[in-house]
């Protein structure tokens, strides 16, 4: 069978490979030769025609096609998805037998009649079938490339953040060693100063003694009757004194030389410390900025909640109300009001509650994960609303704070001494919750001047005086009838009541902090995630020598103490006591630096290696207050990280800033 295609027809149209089912009838002299519809399919299509492959062609049809220019076709072209078929008539341009294809026969057709709309539809589908796979492949390649780039950037960023943490820790260790070296130089200098003073005194005594001996010898020489042996003895003693004075003078010169060498060493170390301090300041600033980013990136976009712990498999999807309150305050402080509103919107509209809010909710679903209602977390949520309101100027969430206040006021009325119980189903009274309550009502009164809130605060203050600050031997009890030491009550006494109010109540704010330092301060060997052992100072959850586990640093409570030292420094600065202002500022900085040594790199892909703080220096140990620390050596804590931010920036969450 010959190929009868004209050369120009091969290039007349741009052809698109596309397969559509087709039914056709053969026409000769505009009459249907066979009423039956035969089947075929397109090999490719164009806007001018198509290539048709024939299926099961019979002898009659084959005979007609041997003279293709005398034959036309009626066509039904079935476009995928679109019904009914598109109708057309077409002339045969060429007919070819090809042994390598299944059907063996192909027709080249040019449309004679076809609806323009249906033709556009055919071409649109044909183009789509050709282009879409290419676009899909391009999309896959683009997404894969984007994934590779993203993975690389995440790896690079994570590596940088981890390096930043290690550099920060190493710089702090360098600073510690240099300070110790400087202190040793100063102590040695002081000792040499004492020796120099003594040497000068000894030389002066011997010089006076030599002067007397010389005068005595002169007197004996004037007396001519003095025996020669006596004079000889005097001369020998004078020589011995001169030799001794020479040794003493040389010794003094050696001391002066050593003092001079020490002064050079001291100057060198001081220059080194200055360089380290400048570097530390920059690294510290960046580290705390990264810590805040770690807080932000863990917010769930659907519920608005932030997981309280990253790394503990059992707690990884849980958001505790206290921690969410801290997050709202931090986000508000940094003016990320939209992110703060996401958390507040959850509690305003989505959170399940009974009187008060539950202690914890699942991050992913918003459902309750801890079916316990305590006063403290609710009070902190109210405090968060007030801080947000004050900082943003947005009053939208004040009804949420008012609902909490109404419930807490009812709880307060149930106690004849105006104290706050731990919750609706509890019988115990904690100092911590009452400090929270005082701060909440005092702040609320400052916002709207309602007498009920002022009276509630005053009632709680009296309860605290009678039940928390009633024994000088233990400055602060953990609660009514409970003399257990809880470190956070010492820090929060300064933050909630303030040094001035404590002093008016007969309490010494300095003595409170010293008691906590003497009884709850610990120095431990902390094992960093890389296996490095470093010495760290901080504060335990309780009076650690009463616990068999030994000392454990609570990162959150250590941060609270650091903040309280800053508040004390500020208090003495206002009163003009520069010595105490510097003393407590230095203490705050010291404990902040110790906390920074415990920074860990976020292990999650979301965290990208950004720094955060663990809940404690040891995982899964007893705090001494009825709960265990989280599991996992690298578990990041939302509350510890945020409170460290408060301490670093000197922001008191329990007080409305002016």
**Environment class of 251 (CB within 10 Å of its CB; exposed 0-12, middle 13-18, buried 19+):** middle
What pLDDT is attached to residue 544?
A: 63
Other beta carbons within 10 angstroms of residue 379's beta carbon come to: 27
Cα(487)–Cα(39) distance, integer angstroms: 88
What tokens does 271 get?
A: 């220059």
CA-nearest of 25, 108, 107 to 74 is 25
**Environment class of 536 (CB within 10 Å of its CB; exposed 0-12, middle 13-18, buried 19+):** buried
What pLDDT is attached to residue 223?
A: 73
Find how far residue 35's CA is from the centre of its chain.
78
How many residues are given for the chain? 658
Backbone angles phi, psi at 612, to 5 degrees: -150, 170
Other beta carbons within 10 angstroms of residue 41's beta carbon come to: 17
What tokens does 219 get?
A: 């007197």
- In DSSP notation, 384-428 reads HHHHHHHHH---TTHHHHHHHHHHHHHHHHTSTT---BS-TT---
What pLDDT is attached to residue 225?
A: 61
Q: Mean pLDDT, 10 residues at a time, over the chain (658 residues)?
A: 42 58 86 84 85 82 80 85 81 82 78 88 78 81 74 67 85 91 94 94 92 83 71 85 92 94 94 92 93 96 96 92 98 98 97 96 97 98 98 97 98 97 96 98 97 98 95 87 93 97 94 95 90 92 72 96 98 96 97 94 82 93 89 91 98 93
Other beta carbons within 10 angstroms of residue 655's beta carbon come to: 18
What pLDDT is attached to residue 509?
A: 96
What pLDDT is attached to residue 235?
A: 83
Cα(148)–Cα(155) distance, integer angstroms: 10
Which strand (E) or helix (H) includes residue 282?
helix 228-297
Instruction: Give the model confidence (pLDDT) of 355-378 as tens digits.
Output: 899 999 999 999 999 999 999 999
Which domains does the chain show, CATH number per domain? 7-114 (2.40.10.220), 126-297 (1.10.287), 298-467 (1.50.10.20), 485-658 (no CATH)
Which strand (E) or helix (H) includes residue 382?
helix 375-392
Instruction: Give the model confidence (pLDDT) of 599-609 as tens digits.
Output: 998 878 787 78
* Ranges of H-type helices in 468-576: 487-492, 499-504, 509-520, 555-574
pTM for the whole structure: 0.75
What pLDDT is attached to residue 11?
A: 39
């Amino acid at each position: 069978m010959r190929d009868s295609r004209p050369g120009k027809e091969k290039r007349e149209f741009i052809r698109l490979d596309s397969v559509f089912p087709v039914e056709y009838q053969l026409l000769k002299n505009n009459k249907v030769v066979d009423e039956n519809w035969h089947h075929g399919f397109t090999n490719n299509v164009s806007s001018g025609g198509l290539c048709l492959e024939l299926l099961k062609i019979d002898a009659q049809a084959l005979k007609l096609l041997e003279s293709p220019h005398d034959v036309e076709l009626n066509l039904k072209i079935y476009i995928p998805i679109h019904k009914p078929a598109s109708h057309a008539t077409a002339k045969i341009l060429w007919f070819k037998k090809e042994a390598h294809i299944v059907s063996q026969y192909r027709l080249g057709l040019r449309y004679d009649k076809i609806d323009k709309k249906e033709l556009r539809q055919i071409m649109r589908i044909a183009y789509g079938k050709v282009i879409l796979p290419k676009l899909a492949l391009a999309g896959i390649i683009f997404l894969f490339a984007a994934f590779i780039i993203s993975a690389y950037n995440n790896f690079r960023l994570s590596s940088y953040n981890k390096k930043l943490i290690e550099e920060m820790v190493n710089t702090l260790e360098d600073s510690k060693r240099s300070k110790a070296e400087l202190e040793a130089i100063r102590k040695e200098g002081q000792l040499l100063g004492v020796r120099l003073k003594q040497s000068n005194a000894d030389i002066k005594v011997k010089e006076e003694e030599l002067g007397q001996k010389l005068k005595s010898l002169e007197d004996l020489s004037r007396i001519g009757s003095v025996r020669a042996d006596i004079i000889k003895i005097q001369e020998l003693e004078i020589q011995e004194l001169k030799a001794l004075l020479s040794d003493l003078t040389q010794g003094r010169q050696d001391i002066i030389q050593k003092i001079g060498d020490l002064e050079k060493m001291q100057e060198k170390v001081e220059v080194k410390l200055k360089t380290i301090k400048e570097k530390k300041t920059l690294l510290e600033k960046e580290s705390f900025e990264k810590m805040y980013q770690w807080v932000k990136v863990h917010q769930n976009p659907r519920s608005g909640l932030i997981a309280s712990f990253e790394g503990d498999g059992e707690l990884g999807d849980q958001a505790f109300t206290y921690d969410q309150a801290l997050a709202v305050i931090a986000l508000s402080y940094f003016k990320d009001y939209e992110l703060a509103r996401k958390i507040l919107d959850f509690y305003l509209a989505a959170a399940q509650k009974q009187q008060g809010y539950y202690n914890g909710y699942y991050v992913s679903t918003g459902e309750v994960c801890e079916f316990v209602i305590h006063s403290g977390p609710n009070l902190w949520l109210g405090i968060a609303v007030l801080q947000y309101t004050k900082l943003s100027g947005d009053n939208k969430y004040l009804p949420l704070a008012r609902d909490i206040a109404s419930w807490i006021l009812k709880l307060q009325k149930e106690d004849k001494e105006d104290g706050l119980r731990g919750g609706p189903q509890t019988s115990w009274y904690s100092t911590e919750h009452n400090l929270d309550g005082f701060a909440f009502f005092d702040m609320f009164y400052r916002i709207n001047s309602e007498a009920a809130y002022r009276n509630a605060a005053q009632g709680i203050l009296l309860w605290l005086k009678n039940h928390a600050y009633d024994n000088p031997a233990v400055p602060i009890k953990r609660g009514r009838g409970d003399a257990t030491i809880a470190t956070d009550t010492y820090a929060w006494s300064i933050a909630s009541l303030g040094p001035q109010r404590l002093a008016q109540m007969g309490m010494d704010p300095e003595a409170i902090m010293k008691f906590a330092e003497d009884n709850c301060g610990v120095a431990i060997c902390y094992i960093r995630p890389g296996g490095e052992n470093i010495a760290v100072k901080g504060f335990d959850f309780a009076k650690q020598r009463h616990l068999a586990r030994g000392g454990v640093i609570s990162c959150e409570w250590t941060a609270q103490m650091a903040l309280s030292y800053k508040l004390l420094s500020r208090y003495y600065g206002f009163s003009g006591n520069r010595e105490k202002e510097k003393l407590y500022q230095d203490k705050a900085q010291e404990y902040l630096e110790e906390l920074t040594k415990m920074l860990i790199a976020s292990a999650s892909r979301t965290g990208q290696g950004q720094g955060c703080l663990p809940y404690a220096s040891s995982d899964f140990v007893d705090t001494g207050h009825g709960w265990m620390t989280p599991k996992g050596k690298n578990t990041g804590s939302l509350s510890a990280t945020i409170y460290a931010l408060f301490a670093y920036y000197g922001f008191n969450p329990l007080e409305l800033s002016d």
